[in-house]
Structure 1
Amino acid sequence: MIHVPAEPQGTFPDAWRQCVGTGRLDLALRHDYQQSLRLLQRDIGFRYLRGHGLFSDGMGIHRPYDWQGTRHVHHSFTYADQVVDALLDTGIRPFLELGFMPSELASGDETVFWWRGNITPPADHKEWAALVRATLTHFIDRYGLDEVRTWPIEVWNEPNLPMFWLNTDEEAYHRLYEITAHTVKEVDAELQVGGPAISPAADEWLVSFADFADRRRVPVDFVSRHAYSSGPGQHVPFGTHQTLAPADDLLDQFAAPRRVLKDTLLADLPVHITEFNSSYCPDNLIHDTAFNAAYLAPVVTAGHAHADSFSYWTFSDVFEEAGVPTALFHGGFGLLTHRQLRKPTYHLYAFLARSGEELLAHGTDHLVTRHRDGRVTVLAWAPVDASGETPGPERHTVRLSVPVAGGSWAFLRRSSVDEERGNAYTAWRHMGSPRSPKPAQLDVLHEAAEPAHSHARVPLAEGRADLTLTLARHEITLAELTPVVEEAPSWWDEGRLLGRQPTAR
């Protein structure tokens, strides 16, 4: 039995809620996407949303034309306004990623993804700077300077990978960053700009980025990096299988920027992990499973110790890097499938959103918090075997002595998700994995996605409840304890429900 202290250990930081990822930004124009975002914000409430493609052709911002033999550029914000309006209307702000290259500003034809984001440097850096300046100036004019100052601005995405930046030319990236950062500060000195948004296993880029920024006196307001714990892809048609490192590997990656930048000019800057997940592939079924939720639980509850934000990649399966998905469940990154089916990892975040402000205890399999009104929450998770050599324990028990102030009883509400409960993926597999479920099947899947709920009254002794939580394989559970205020009248006797005589006292 673990004795949970009555005095808080401090506040429970919600860096896990600071940002979440999305597919390319013009997907926000779609009805399914906007429905998913509203559900996300209702249940979880992220602060920022980061996605690719702000400057890609699908957004239509950069529009060059020839007039009387001279090249001109028109900047059009028709779609950009609709996208940002949709975000702000649901209570989430943009975390701006500046990229990819507009095709008519690009120095080459190399692209990435099914939707062909151009990955080459600008053919004209002055025209790129004008694009950045016009975009930020327009946003300030439309949404106000105070608002836009709250939007972090990240320069490019994973320039250390050849699929995202031509030839992984570090010097060319530094040049792009320098021009961009100075342009941002020319628009307004208090706008926040950073990078280099590198992928895992490339921390030498952080060191050289710090040296470059120091040597060139280039503005850097935050450092960004990505984190994934999967090995090389084993590809099958419309799918990928991968090995996984233990979940602690993700926390090590979160900690990497501060570790490698310790003695540099960037040592004390905010660190944003602007993408993280188990697998980096958008067609790995691990994302759809209860395993993924239990695997990531120790990461999202402890990540605040290493980074100012860590952005789950992504909130929705409305996402097309590898093409249009071929089935409802296809291993997409999203917390939600198309048509708003909640995955187990969605519930992990929704459970966290019901946690309290005060941190009482944090262990290898549990997080205990308290709300200001006295309600205590216990988030617990079953351990997983990331090696795949075993299925993991069939049962896992968490025993806690929890402080609950007031009264003789506490009301216990428990919500659980595991391989069977709160798991639309399992129900879909039982159905025969229909690629395009019919309306009645969708209704069943939405029902299956609802966590299992149970309720009980537990006794309090000296202001404590002894709580025993037995978890199934890959289960995450949220137990909420609220002091009972008894309002039943003194004559209430459930023994008389069928008209029997009063119980002798």
Structure 2
Amino acid sequence: MDQGHIIFRVLHHENISITMDAGVSLFFGLHGQYTISTAQENYTIGASEVYAVSPFTLYRTVSGEDAGVLQITLSPEILQKADWPQRQMIDCYLSRSTLTDSVAQDIRRRCATLFRLYFQQTDQVELQRQAVSLASLLWSRFSTTDSVQPEDSINTLKLLESALKMIHTQWNQSISLSETAAQLYVSDSYISRVFKKYVGTTFTKYLVDLRLSHAVNDLKGTDSVTEIAYRNGFKSDNSFIDFFKKAYGCTPGKYRQQLKQSADTPEPPKEDVSDWLQELLQYADGASLYSKSAPTVIRKTVRLPETQDGEPICQSWRQMVNIGYAHDGLIGSVQEQLRRAQKEIGFTYLRFHGIFDDDMHIYQENEDGSPWFNFAYADLLFDFIQEIGLIPYVELGYMPSKLAKTQYTVFDNPAICISMYNDSEKWQALVQACLSHWIDKYGLANVRKWRFTVFSMNYSRLQYTAPVMSHEDYCKMFEATYQTIKMIDPELKLGGAGCFPGIALAPDGLRRFLLDVKEHGCPPDFITVQCYPHEDFSQDSDFFYFTSKQTSMPSVLSKDKNFTLHFLQRLNRIRQEIGFADCPVVVEEWNSTLWQRDLSGDTCYKAAWLIKNVLQNYDQAEYLGYWLLTDFLDEWLVPGGVFHGGYGLFTINGIPKAGYQALRMLGRIGERKIASGEGWFVSRTENTIQIYLYHYCHYDALYRYRYQKLTDPHDAYKVFEVDGRLKIELELCGLDPGVYRQESWTLNRSAGSAFDKWLEMEAPRVMTPEDLNYLNDMAQPLCKIRDADTAGALHLQTELEPHEVRLIVLKKRDG
């Protein structure tokens, strides 16, 4: 990671061969132990220990077990601005015994501040200033009068650096000591002495070790030992084998067998680097949350057309909402939250996992293995769903344990079994029995309105586990389900395959699924995806492990502020390319993060994210199914307290969050869109005009890259890009002259955010029923109403703080 003249590098079980820098490199211990070696000394640094390598000093690093260190390199340009004397060397090693030393703590604080500023990527001037200040502190406090490196020594090291560069770029070619010396215009004996003195080994051994390190990596592939030998610069396979046995104690072939055995039993990562970086970030002094600069200004003139003109608005975000699991829908508090949401927002479909989970008790077997079915719990659930005016969106999954080919779950709840079926006839019998029962109970016309899917294709891509199912298995399960449903009634609707963006856009992902099932005569009636704005999981090898275990921020959050829009646009292009242009798209899960413990999701950020993304994407899909209505999700042990960063629009106690209030605001939207831009949206219904204003601030890179965790609720707003206030000026022209009622609703940290009101209460962990009632009553958006007299134009001017949302409703008064 390089920004100007400052380079950050997290070394994670990684060794650095002998090298040197023209600037200063600081090593900050994060976890375990790393050894930093120069020609003069060796230092082993642990957590919070710091060692600085002087300019033009050869060094190498060796990782201990389970170790990590942060390397910060300050360039010669930074040193020059810090008035660092030429050839000045320093002696800086800060052990844990210096944790109470003011200068040592200042060094640690400055390292943490630099790291934060780098990832906030907003104030380059301050980043440079802090780097110069750190360099000044280093040379002023850690240099000595006899620590100036001689000019001839520097020249020798520069020559050695040139030799090392030649070796590292030509290691697989015919390179020798004599050829290297000749190109550098020195003698063989001189270059040999330099290697022995500064590298601690001979030229030849250094070259052979480098070739062997590349060959070891090649052994992970399928090329022959002979091919690998010649590719890496060895004269023959015999010489390669001899050198390899001396270095690794076995032949290349035996080593490859050991690699294959270890690959067959992959181990999950032992640690999360974000945990390690807390060792550094604990020293950060906490930069101000928001910029003190002048606000960004948006000025627009909006001319109102005739009443019936404008683009029709489809309220796709109200088409579907999710609860976690079927069994959750039987819990009283979840039902209360659904009733309230239906009354105040009004959704069409309700989706959930786990209708076939063991805790719903539908699938049973007799002693002889023949299946029978119990619909008692399912009937209670579907009766309630339809009683409150919702339509079931039924995911046919997961797998009943007695029908499962493998007993596997990624969650704490053992009732959740993710597997291929062990008997296709029993699976089809289960699907047929359920559909037949629901048609008998609720009527065919009613059930034709329902939507059906099987569980997500994501599980065919799981890593760090025994394979759950293959792509072929998943297609077979979908096709068996499709044939069963269509045999009952061709008008019943089945969709698939419910995959993450990285899978949906991959050539062997959703595209392959759609073409395969279409070839077998089972095309889905609608296409389903799950939209979480993370980078392509295939680029993040730990993605599924961390996501399934929820032990850290899963994957790298995307830097694309318009991720949902760009993803759905690409998905729609794929639909057209493969002949599915007329197949509707349903976003069945949709949230700003996959992380169930993300406190920032409890803040006003979620309100601004929802307003921005709904207004950008309402016409990109048939349904935008927000995940999740409630923080109650029986995948993991539900934590105590009121706020824990859950997915929900409600806390488990039923307190509406800022995101819920944002959806209530969106319920006021007009029938037609008039105009829109970044930060604003204007709609209209007859003589009423709705204006949405929002100030969206994205996650900063430090948080997106999993380098910062939130444990203190008071830090929840420290993970966003530093931004100032947003000033919006709108000129509305074409109004009918007269007096308008101007109704303004404001949602920000002072109004409408239950989380911020809870912080005002000093974040009590235990709350009485009276406390919860107070929080529920107080967490309402601010409403102001006044009259505005206009002769046909109205000027609106306002400033929004970061994450603030505002709705202005104009309605012409009679007379």
TM-score scaled to structure 1, two decimals? Answer: 0.90
> Quick check: which has more Rg, 1 or 2?
2
8 A Cα contact 2:561 2:698, kept in partner = no
Deviations 1:227-284 (CA, angstroms, capped at 9, x unpaired): 111466989x997446532331122222333222322232320011111111112211
Alignment partner, residue 156 of structure 1: 455
8 A Cα contact 1:9 1:359, kept in partner = yes
d(CA) in 1 for partners of 2:437, 2:636: 32
The RMSD of aligned alpha carbons is 2.3
Alignment partner, residue 475 of structure 2: 174
Alignment partner, residue 436 of structure 2: 137
d(CA) in 2 for partners of 1:477, 1:365: 10
**Number of positions where the alignment pairs a residue of Structure 1 with one of Structure 2:** 480
2:776 maps to which of 423, 440, 446 = 446
d(CA) in 2 for partners of 1:122, 1:333: 30
> Is the aligned partner of 1:290 residue 2:604?
yes
5+ unaligned residues in a row in structure 1: which ranges? 487-505
d(CA) in 1 for partners of 2:466, 2:329: 25
* Structure 2 counterpart SS, 1:112: coil
8 A Cα contact 2:353 2:398, kept in partner = yes
8 A Cα contact 2:501 2:530, kept in partner = yes
Alignment partner, residue 101 of structure 1: 399
Alignment partner, residue 493 of structure 1: none
* Structure 2 counterpart SS, 1:329: coil
> Is the aligned partner of 1:363 residue 2:661?
no
* Structure 2 counterpart SS, 1:445: helix
* Structure with the higher fraction of residues in helix conformation: 2
Alignment of 1:422-437 (within 5 A): 422-437=752-767
8 A Cα contact 1:270 1:307, kept in partner = yes
8 A Cα contact 1:160 1:199, kept in partner = no
1:212 maps to which of 512, 516, 526 = 516
8 A Cα contact 2:312 2:673, kept in partner = yes
> Is the aligned partner of 1:339 residue 2:339?
no
Alignment partner, residue 318 of structure 2: 17
Deviations 1:31-55 (CA, angstroms, capped at 9, x unpaired): 1111100111111111111110011
> Is the aligned partner of 1:469 residue 2:798?
yes
281-290 vs 388-397, which moves further: 388-397
Deviations 1:97-122 (CA, angstroms, capped at 9, x unpaired): 11100011111111132223111111
Alignment of 1:252-267 (within 5 A): 252-267=566-581
- The letter for the 1-side match of 2:696 is P
Alignment of 1:29-428 (within 5 A): 29-66=330-367, 70-116=368-414, 117-157=416-456, 158-162=458-462, 166-203=467-504, 204=506, 205-230=509-534, 240-241=552-553, 244-245=557-558, 246-372=560-686, 374-387=687-700, 391-402=721-732, 406=736, 408-428=738-758
CA shift for structure 1 position 392: 4.1
Deviations 1:69-115 (CA, angstroms, capped at 9, x unpaired): x3332211111111111111111111111110001111111113222
d(CA) in 2 for partners of 1:43, 1:240: 34
5+ unaligned residues in a row in structure 2: which ranges? 1-298, 536-542, 703-719
CA shift for structure 1 position 212: 0.5
8 A Cα contact 2:608 2:694, kept in partner = yes
* Structure 2 counterpart SS, 1:256: helix
8 A Cα contact 1:20 1:49, kept in partner = yes
TM-score scaled to structure 2, two decimals? Answer: 0.56
Alignment partner, residue 489 of structure 1: none
- The letter for the 1-side match of 2:798 is L
Change (3 A) 1:24 1:165: farther
* Structure 2 counterpart SS, 1:301: helix
8 A Cα contact 1:378 1:480, kept in partner = yes
Change (3 A) 1:165 1:228: farther
d(CA) in 2 for partners of 1:480, 1:393: 27
Change (3 A) 1:109 1:241: closer
CA shift for structure 1 position 477: 1.0
8 A Cα contact 1:411 1:455, kept in partner = yes
* Structure 2 counterpart SS, 1:23: strand
- The letter for the 2-side match of 1:294 is A
CA shift for structure 1 position 9: 1.9
CA shift for structure 1 position 484: 2.0
Alignment partner, residue 496 of structure 1: none
8 A Cα contact 1:93 1:151, kept in partner = yes
* Structure 1 counterpart SS, 2:303: coil
- The letter for the 2-side match of 1:331 is G
d(CA) in 2 for partners of 1:255, 1:138: 39
